[in-house]
């Protein structure tokens, strides 16, 4: 984990300390900006010598190279990085995803700035390395402060610019679940969809930081090259806020493809509501915060075909419709076939992508007695209405007793993987602790 060998108090340094500004020798190197700027070497004898990389005056620095500050003859007391994006480049890179863009909030209030580049100090405070990448096409100002044993301060400034992300090679956030401001159930994953394939999955994983009020272990899994999913080891603790900082800007998702925006997603985990259906008992039991509050007679799929067999396993509620037309052709059964159907239903709550919903079924007179549906969970109108009105996206629905298991990629079947299996499918192979102290590995590219 970034900063794992350093006390938390030293991990992120604040701004605003006054000091002596020293003149720097400007230089221009190649796109990697491998040289360093130095100042304060011998003039005062005991003065701290500070070196900053990339070097002052460098242009077209790869945005995924780390900013490094070292101090010789003293200790680092403050490092700040200011980024001023080229307005033309910014206009070419609109924020299309549903996460809140850096520094904005849906209610108009400011959020903590996800563009802030924090860094990690080594144990003796002589080296500082940036935690995150830089925004492509930006003018960067690095201000470093250090002091000698007598407490005398030295300040060094390095100014350089980063390489722009080329047209057609800009990674964007396409969509995310949940979105900022949503209230969700305790099983809710964080689902991030990108507009381009990601090859450097470990670096992108490490660029996405999840922070919760109640600290837990979690990890990312990939489903294809464009979708990443974060899930905690166990269900979220109820009644808490969760933030997701997507430090995508400057991260090299694939060869020459850079993220161009940072985003923040803020959502709230609500009460714990877990529903359990026993297929052979034709019953749904609803528990809230560990106590049973409802028991409903239901009717599941009749099991005559695989398509008409309700899936067993741990499901999550995905979306709901007060009114919905159900068409068997959407699950591969023609409407005009003997097993086809097209029905108008009310109070439908989706729990998979294979056409499974809870919904009102006033035509089914065997609720609590037999499984007669096409795979959905039939309920009375009153019961379906209650469940619809009390359902949150991410609520847990466990179904037991059928011979068809829910697939991990059928809807949000992510809890079908054990924690060990989930961790094995993470590109980093390490758990990510949601305490705000960084992610398991490095986000930077290698210097060439």
Number of domains in the chain: 3
Q: Which residue has the higher pLDDT, 355 or 36?
A: 355
Q: Residue 444 falls within a domain, yes or no? A: no
Q: Based on the domain organization, do 115 and 178 belong to the same domain?
A: no
Mean of all residue pLDDT scores within the chain: 87
Q: Based on the domain organization, do 119 and 212 belong to the same domain?
A: no
Query: Cβ distance 84 to 139 under 8 Å?
Result: yes
Of 161, 183, 210, the one marking the end of a domain is: 161
**CATH code of the domain covering residue 201:** 2.60.40.3710
The answer to whether the bond into 54 is cis (omega within 30° of 0) is yes
Q: Based on the domain organization, do 249 and 280 belong to the same domain?
A: no
pLDDT value at 13 more than 90: no
Q: Based on the domain organization, do 39 and 132 belong to the same domain?
A: yes
pLDDT score for 339: 74
Q: Residue 177 falls within a domain, yes or no? A: yes
Residue 444 annotated to the active site: no
Q: Based on the domain organization, do 34 and 135 belong to the same domain?
A: yes
pLDDT score for 7: 32
Query: Cβ distance 251 to 171 under 8 Å?
Result: yes
Q: Based on the domain organization, do 189 and 91 belong to the same domain?
A: no
pLDDT tens string 274-303: 999 999 999 999 999 999 999 999 999 999
Q: Residue 411 falls within a domain, yes or no? A: no
Q: Based on the domain organization, do 31 and 122 belong to the same domain?
A: yes
What mean pLDDT comes out for the span 54-60? 97
pLDDT score for 333: 80
Between CA 260 and CA 116 the distance in angstroms is 14
Q: Based on the domain organization, do 242 and 132 belong to the same domain?
A: no
pLDDT tens string 177-194: 999 999 999 999 999 999
Q: Residue 62 falls within a domain, yes or no? A: yes
**CATH code of the domain covering residue 117:** 2.60.40.3780
Q: Residue 438 falls within a domain, yes or no? A: no
Q: Which of 38-47, 211-220, 381-390, 392-401 has the lowest mean pLDDT?
A: 38-47
The active-site residue, picked from 247, 374, 376, 444, is: 376
Residues of the domain holding 398:
273-406
The active-site residue, picked from 247, 315, 359, 374, is: 359
Of 141, 161, 181, the one marking the end of a domain is: 161
Q: Based on the domain organization, do 238 and 326 belong to the same domain?
A: no
Residue 28 annotated to the active site: no
pLDDT value at 238 more than 70: yes
pLDDT tens string 80-114: 999 998 765 555 544 445 565 443 434 334 455 88
pLDDT value at 317 more than 70: yes
pLDDT tens string 66-79: 999 999 999 999 99
**CATH code of the domain covering residue 302:** 2.40.440.10
pLDDT score for 328: 81
Of 100, 133, 161, the one marking the end of a domain is: 161
Q: Based on the domain organization, do 129 and 210 belong to the same domain?
A: no
Q: Which residues pair with 128 in a beta bridge?
A: 69, 121
Between CA 41 and CA 27 the distance in angstroms is 18
What mean pLDDT comes out for the span 229-246? 98
Contacts of 132 (CB under 8 A, 6+ apart): 117, 118, 207, 247, 249, 250, 443
Q: Global pTM? A: 0.85
Q: Based on the domain organization, do 141 and 208 belong to the same domain?
A: no
Q: Residue 13 falls within a domain, yes or no? A: yes
Q: Based on the domain organization, do 34 and 68 belong to the same domain?
A: yes
pLDDT score for 94: 46
Q: Residue 360 falls within a domain, yes or no? A: yes
pLDDT score for 92: 52
Question: Where does the pLDDT of residue 334 fall: very low under 50, low under 70, confident under 90, or very high at 90 and above?
Answer: confident
What mean pLDDT comes out for the span 119-134? 98
pLDDT score for 42: 38
pLDDT value at 413 more than 80: yes
Q: Residue 445 falls within a domain, yes or no? A: no
pLDDT score for 335: 81
């Amino acid at each position: 984990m970034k900063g794992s060998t350093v006390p938390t108090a030293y991990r992120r340094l604040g701004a605003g300390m006054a000091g002596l500004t020293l003149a720097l020798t400007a230089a221009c190197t190649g796109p990697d900006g491998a040289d360093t700027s130095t100042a304060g070497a011998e003039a005062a004898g005991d003065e701290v010598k500070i070196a900053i990389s990339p070097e002052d005056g460098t242009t077209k620095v790869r945005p995924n190279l780390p900013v490094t500050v070292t101090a010789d003859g003293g200790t680092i007391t403050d490092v700040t990085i200011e980024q001023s994006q080229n307005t033309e480049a910014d206009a070419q890179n609109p924020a299309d995803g549903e996460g809140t863009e850096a520094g904005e909030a849906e209610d108009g209030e400011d959020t903590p700035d996800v563009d802030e580049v924090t860094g990690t100090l080594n144990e003796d405070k002589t080296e500082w390395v940036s935690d995150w990448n830089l925004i492509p096409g930006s003018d960067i100002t690095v201000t470093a402060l250090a002091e000698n044993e007598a407490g005398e301060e030295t300040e060094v400034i390095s100014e350089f610019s980063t390489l722009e992300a080329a047209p057609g090679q800009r990674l964007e956030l396409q969509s995310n679940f949940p979105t900022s401001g949503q209230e969700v159930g305790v099983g809710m994953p964080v689902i991030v969809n990108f507009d381009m394939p990601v090859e450097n999955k470990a670096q992108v994983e490490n660029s996405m930081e999840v922070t919760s009020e109640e600290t837990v272990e979690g990890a990312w899994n990939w489903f294809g090259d464009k979708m990443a999913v974060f899930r905690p080891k166990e269900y979220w603790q109820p009644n808490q806020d969760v933030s997701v900082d997507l430090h995508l800007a400057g991260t090299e998702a694939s060869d020459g493809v850079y993220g161009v925006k940072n985003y923040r997603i803020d959502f709230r985990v609500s009460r714990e509501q877990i529903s359990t259906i026993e297929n052979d008992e034709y019953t749904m039991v609803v528990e809230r915060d560990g106590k049973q509050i409802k028991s409903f007679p239901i009717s599941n799929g009749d099991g005559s075909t695989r398509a008409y067999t309700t899936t067993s396993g741990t499901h999550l509620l995905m979306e709901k419709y007060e009114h919905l037309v159900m068409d068997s052709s959407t699950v591969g059964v023609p409407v005009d076939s003997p097993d086809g159907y097209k029905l108008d239903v009310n109070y439908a709550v989706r729990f998979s992508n294979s056409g499974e919903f809870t919904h009102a079924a006033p035509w089914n007179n065997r609720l609590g007695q037999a499984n007669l549906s096409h795979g959905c969970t039939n309920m009375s109108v009153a019961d379906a209405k209650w469940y619809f009105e009390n359902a949150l996206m991410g609520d847990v629905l466990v179904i037991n007793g059928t011979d068809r298991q829910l697939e991990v990629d059928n809807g949000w079947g992510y809890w079908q993987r054990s924690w060990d299996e989930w961790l094995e499918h993470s590109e980093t192979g390490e758990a990510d602790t949601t305490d705000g102290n960084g992610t398991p590995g490095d986000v930077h590219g290698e210097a060439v």
